[in-house]
Structures are given as C-alpha cells and as structure tokens.
C-alpha cells in the first residue's frame, strides 16, 4: 500500500481528483469505480472544475458505482444514483448511458446482483476503484463479517452504518435497512484502488486497514493484498498509524 498523507480534507480531495484525472488523461476510455458518501465530494467538485476548464474529458469514460440502497428508485433523492447525478454526472460531459449503479429499484435481490456482476464482468472490471472507508472498516457496503464477500450481494446494514448514514435522512427509521453492494472480488480486480479518508473518526479503521491483520472483520484490510492500492488520507485519519 502506498500512503499519501495530506494536511487536511481539501488537500486530500485534490490528490484524489489528480489521481483520477491522471487515469483519464492516460486512458480516455477509463472505467472508473466510484463511491458515494461525504468523503469523495471534494474530489468530485475538483473533477467538475477540471472538466469545465477542459483539462479532462469524460466523453468516453464509463463508471460503475459501488452500491445502492435496496428499495429506492433512482429518482429518490436519498438514492446513490441521485447523489451521483447531483454531485458529479450532471456537471461533466459524461454520457449518462455509460454510468452504472446497482439497480436498487429491483426487489429481486438475486437478479439485481447477478445483473451487476454480469455488467462488471463484461466490462472487464474497472481500471481505478475509488473507495471511502466506514468507521467499522467497511468498503462499499461490505460490512465486518466472518468471510470476505465475492460477487455483488444484498447486505443487511449494521446498526453503526445505519446510525452513520442517518445524518442524511430525516430520521433513523427512514434509512433503508438493506443495500446491494459490489463484492470484495470485483474491488480486488480493479487495476488501481484509491481509498480516501478524512477525520479522526476514521483513524481506528485506517490503522486496522493499513497495519492490522487481514481479516473480514475489517473488510478494508484485504487491500493489503492488492498490488496497487493508494491510501490518500489526512493527518487526523492517519493519527493511529
Ligand atoms: C459509499 C460507500 C461507503 C462509504 C463509507 C464512508 O458508496 O461505499 O463504503 O465510502 O461509508 O462514508 P463517508 O465518506 O460518508 O464517511
């Protein structure tokens, strides 16, 4: 793992955006794995600026998001599809037909997961996977478990994740209890993984990911086995390393 330590969230966001921009400059048809959550928002804003200044071109880029709440329509303003449209896709010259998010509106979990796995397999998996990290070490919605996940799966969100995500909903009761998430295998197939973290509340998870045992109890720890993982984190998030 390569670790890039930044002074603060803004610097972390610039580094992450630059790594993604470099990927697109080197490969205009880049396949990007993308994440939602608070952490990547600054990087997405920087990518929008670069695109508007014509420094990078998304016209041939395709994207594959990590996860989606089960039971939310893409038009629901709490869905991850809605988040991605608003935080990034609506502001760049990407062809929306080339942007993919698991289909949370499909109640048939098996079919929704199979369809996403087939899509990823047909694409040959992603060139660069952007990840955030949960306070419990989750990546995507791969929560601490007894074994690492493989393909796309439907997960029950843990109480701590529901609690963390409730800040974005009117109340905790409104947070969906299940989600479809890309499995660990597809994440590990990415040629490059960029995982970003900011703030003291991520310090324990980041330390376990970088230097703890490789265990499904900290799903991000599997990235120690990935040949090209770059951790971009601010000094608060790296405080325990
Ligand atoms: C989001 C995702 C999650 C988040 C993680 C951190 O698509 O897959 O794993 O990356 O929960 O979320 P934030 O950035 O909000 O702290």
pLDDT tens digits for range 97-153: 999 999 999 999 999 999 999 999 999 999 999 999 999 999 999 999 999 999 999
Q: Give the Å distances, CA to CA, from 84 to 45, 74, 209, 221.
A: 12, 10, 26, 26
By the 8 A CB rule, do 30 and 24 touch? yes
C-alpha 82 – ligand 1 centre gap (Å): 15
* 168 pLDDT more than 90: no
Give the whole-angstrom CA distance, residue 134 versus residue 18.
23
Residue 216 has pLDDT above 90, yes or no: yes
Taking CA atoms, 228 is separated from 99, 167, 196, 207, in Å, by 24, 33, 14, 18
Catalytic sites, residue numbers: 67, 136, 138, 143
Position 9 scores a pLDDT of: 98
pTM over 0.95: yes
H/E/C letters for each residue in 150-173?
Answer: CCCEEEECCHHHHHHHHHHCCCHH
The predicted pLDDT at position 166 comes to 87
pLDDT, residue 161, reads: 83
36 Cα: distance to centroid of ligand 1 (angstroms): 6
For residue 227, the CA-to-ligand 1 centroid distance in Å is 22
Is the Cβ atom of 68 under 6 angstroms away from ligand 1? no
Give the model's pLDDT for residue 210. 98
Of the given ranges (47-61, 110-124, 150-164, 197-211), which has the lowest mean pLDDT? Answer: 150-164
Least confident of 31-40, 78-87, 158-167, 198-207: 158-167
Q: What does the pLDDT average to over 169-181? A: 92
Structure tokens at 174: 């409104």
> Does the pLDDT at position 170 exceed 90?
no
């Amino acid at each position: 793992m390569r670790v890039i330590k930044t002074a603060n969230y803004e610097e972390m966001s610039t580094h992450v955006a630059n790594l993604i921009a470099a990927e697109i400059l080197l490969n205009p048809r880049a396949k990007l794995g993308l994440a939602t959550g608070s952490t990547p928002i600054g990087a997405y804003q920087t990518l929008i600026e670069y695109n508007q200044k014509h420094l990078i071109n998304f016209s041939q880029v395709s994207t594959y998001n990590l996860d989606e709440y089960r039971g939310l329509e893409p038009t629901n303003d709490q869905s991850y599809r809605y988040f991605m449209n608003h935080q990034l896709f609506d502001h760049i010259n990407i062809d929306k037909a080339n942007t993919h998010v698991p289909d949370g509106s499909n109640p048939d979990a098996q079919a929704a997961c199979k369809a996403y796995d087939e899509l990823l397999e047909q694409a040959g998996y992603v060139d660069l996977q952007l990840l955030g990290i949960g306070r419990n070490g989750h990546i995507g919605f791969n929560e601490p478990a007894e074994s690492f996940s493989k393909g796309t799966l439907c997960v029950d969100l843990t109480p701590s994740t529901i609690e963390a995500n409730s800040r974005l909903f009117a109340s905790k009761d409104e947070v969906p209890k299940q989600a479809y998430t890309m499995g660990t295998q597809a994440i590990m197939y990415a040629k490059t993984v960029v995982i970003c973290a900011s703030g003291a509340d991520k310090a324990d998870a980041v330390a376990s990911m970088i230097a703890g045992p490789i265990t499904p109890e900290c799903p991000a720890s599997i990235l120690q086995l990935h040949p090209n993982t770059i951790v971009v984190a601010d000094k608060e998030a790296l405080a325990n390393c």
